[in-house]
Structure 1
Amino acid sequence: MMAEPADRFYESQGLRLHYVDWGNEAAPPLILVHGGLDHCRNWDAIARELQPHFHIIAPDLRGHGDSEWAKGSSYSLTDHVYDLSRLMRFTELQDAPIVGHSLGGMISLAYAGTYPDRISRLAVLDGAFLSSSQPAPIHEQMSRWIDQLDRIGERDPSAFRTIEQAAQRLSTRNKRLTPELALHLARHGVRQDTDGLYRWKFDHYQRARAPYRLSPDDHIALWSRITCPTLLMWGSESFLPDPEAAGLLSHFKHATLEKVVGAGHWLHHDRLDEVLALLRRFLGAPQPVQAQ
């Protein structure tokens, strides 16, 4: 078992992108894709448990963690799908199962719909949803986006005197985080600048909603092409709607839904043991031996 994963880098669209490699190269591959404004080390608890059975790769999305930021804030879903395709090619893991959380789940779903033959299994943690509202007229989308970019460019990003302060900020976003986990996420989520203060590693320009997003029909068209077994997980206390109640399962060929009670958006932080058990069963990994 590796105490810490190895840092690796690859290139996509001229960006130097980072991923961690948990070793065990002789085992079957497994790719873990984090969500928005997050980083690859948020998977550590899952990766450590599954590492004996899989060769785990966990990328930092562009503009996140230790990956480069995109010049000109190019963070569309399709850009992320391209980066994932480059990672799969670079690591030669073409038939890997993928587990994605939130934005990482949306990226993985779009990739699996684009290349159904390149992915063997797909698990999505709170990342399958469709916007039910009608899009605003395009001139409103354009002006809103321009205003968002202006505001982001004018504001000073949050700064913290200590990593502990950053951990406290994370705990306000997710009340279920243990102090240890909040500190772990903060330690890998901030970097210290020359003024001695700590700031988040992610690029704040990702918060802008560009007017060239995929439509709900585009997502449905991609989902309906996915041929591999698909597991959707949803936290009963998530801010996203219940995929079953929203009728999303009808858009998939082979999807099952598991509802995790007492979990919010970050299911793998809120109910780690349950999520791990579901992933082990879905991925065909042995369950741990229970102590007598």
Structure 2
Amino acid sequence: MTTEFLRERTFEVNGLQIACKEWGRPGFTPIIALHGWLDNAASFDHLIPLMNNVHVIALDMMGHGKSSHRSADSFYEPWIDVGDVISVADQMLWDEFTLLGHSRGAIISAFVAGTFPERIKNLFLIDGYVPYLHSTKKSGDHLKRAIKENRRFSVASPTYFRDFERAVHARVEGFVPLTYQAALTLAKRGVFEDANGFFWGNDQRLKASNHIKFSEEQIRNFYENIIANVILILAENSAIGTAESQEKFFDWIPQMQVKKLPGSHHLHLEDKSKDIALLLQTLLN
């Protein structure tokens, strides 16, 4: 048995639209899936069909894919996304649900689970765990950088490409390299065309630093609040460092299982989707 794509749908949150891909059927295990930085809901297109008896809402996080860009007086901070996720869950009438997150989406998922622990039953983290920790001695420097970068990116135009294929290859060769097929999957949802050519539709302000960065003590408090069942899947060629560099934070969630798989940062979108689906299905069952 596999999970089939059901439909495109949107949720209104604070006057903005969050687009999503809905998979499976109501009545099955409810899951909200959160993609990584500059990706979109298609990030899970290769994984979700391999799962059984699930009802998945895969979001385009604000500023990504087909979702609205935040207003000029707002920013892209992970703690703001926490409220978006809970709003979607409320509109689905899900009092308790599972979170599936990749990279930035994994960090946001952990924040949700630490803020609303009573609502999260299972937490699946794919190559994303602890965010970059902030030294409180440099708070002023961090805020100055964030203000300057947000001003710069708020007036920045996207990079335009002559054709769709060039946009795909730009992602293949990007900051976090992807296979062509993985980049194509994301591009089919995330690349748009106007009179100037083809472009990735992500809000340019997503490239700016966060105004508020949490200290190790603050992050630990979030994570120690988590009561859900947790699996952390780390890629051997991880974008968040080696498993060893993350180990000192593992005891923040005592019940967490850590699995290391061959592959790169987008392993769920590349050749390890079957292995990951099996791990997730085992915990759900």
Q: TM-score, normalised by structure 2?
A: 0.90
Structure 2 counterpart of 1:124: 125
| 1:41 aligned residue | 42
Q: Which has the higher strand share?
A: 2
Contact 2:5 / 2:22 at 8 angstroms: preserved in 1? no
Q: What pairs with 1:1-292 in structure 2 (closer than 5 Å)? A: 4-50=5-51, 52-72=52-72, 73-131=74-132, 134-135=135-136, 137-173=138-174, 175=177, 177=179, 179-193=180-194, 195=195, 197-246=197-246, 247-261=248-262, 263-270=263-270, 271-284=272-285
Shift in CA distance, 213/176, structure 1 to aligned 2, threshold 3 Å: closer
Q: How far apart in 2 are the matches of 1:123 and 1:3?
A: 20
Change (3 A) 1:14 1:214: farther
Greater Cα shift, 16-25 or 216-225: 16-25
**Residues of 1 paired with 2:27 and 2:277: CA distance?**
22
Residue 213 of structure 1 aligns to a residue whose secondary structure is coil
What is the Cα-based RMSD across aligned positions, in Å? 2.0
Give the partner amino acid of 1:172.
E
Using a 3 Å threshold, how does the CA distance of structure 1 residues 120 and 245 change in structure 2: closer, same or farther? same
Query: Do the aligned residues in 1 keep the contact of 2:127 with 2:232 (CA within 8 Å)?
Result: yes
Identity of aligned residues (%): 25
Q: Which residue of the partner structure matches residue 288 of structure 1?
A: none
**CA–CA separation in structure 1 for the residues paired with 2:137 and 2:231:** 32
Counterpart AA for 1:70: R
Distance 1:197 1:95 in 2: 43
8 A Cα contact 1:230 1:256, kept in partner = yes
Separation in 2, partners of 1:148, 1:196: 25
Tell me if the contact between 2:47 and 2:274 (Cα under 8 Å) persists in the aligned partners: no
> Are the counterparts in 1 of residues 100 and 106 from structure 2 also a CA contact under 8 Å?
yes
Cα distance in structure 1, aligned partners of 2:90 and 2:133? 35
* Alignment TM-score, normalising by the size of structure 1: 0.88
The answer (yes or no) to whether the contact 1:30–1:54 under 8 Å persists in 2 is: yes
Q: Give the Cα–Cα distance (whole angstroms) in 2 for the partners of residues 11 and 103 of structure 1.
A: 22
- Return the letter of the residue paired with 1:249: F
Letter in 2 for 1:109: A
Take 1:135 and 1:160, find their aligned partners in 2: how far apart are those partners? 41
Q: Is the 8 A contact 2:162 2:197 kept in 1?
A: yes
Q: Following the alignment from structure 1 to structure 2, what is the Cα–Cα distance between the partners of residues 206 and 146?
A: 13
Structure 1 unmatched runs, 5+ = 285-292
Question: How many equivalent residue pairs?
Answer: 280
The Cα shift of 1:250 comes to 0.8
Q: Which protein, 1 or 2, shows the higher relative CO under an 8 Å CA cutoff with sep ≥ 6? A: 2
Paired residue type of 2:36:
G
Contact 1:243/1:249 (CA < 8 Å) preserved in 2?
no
CA distance in 1, matches of 2:75, 2:211: 12
C-alpha distance in 1 between matches for 2:4 and 2:233: 28
* 2: CA distance, partners of 1:131 / 1:146: 18
Contact 2:3–2:48, Cα closer than 8 Å, also in 1: no
Deviations 1:181-238 (A, max 9, x none): 3222211111112x05111121010111132222222211011011111111111111
Is there any run of 5+ residues in structure 2 with no aligned partner, and where? none
Listed one character per residue, the Cα deviations across residues 236-271 of structure 1 (whole Å, up to 9, x for unaligned) are: 11131235543111101310110112x221121232
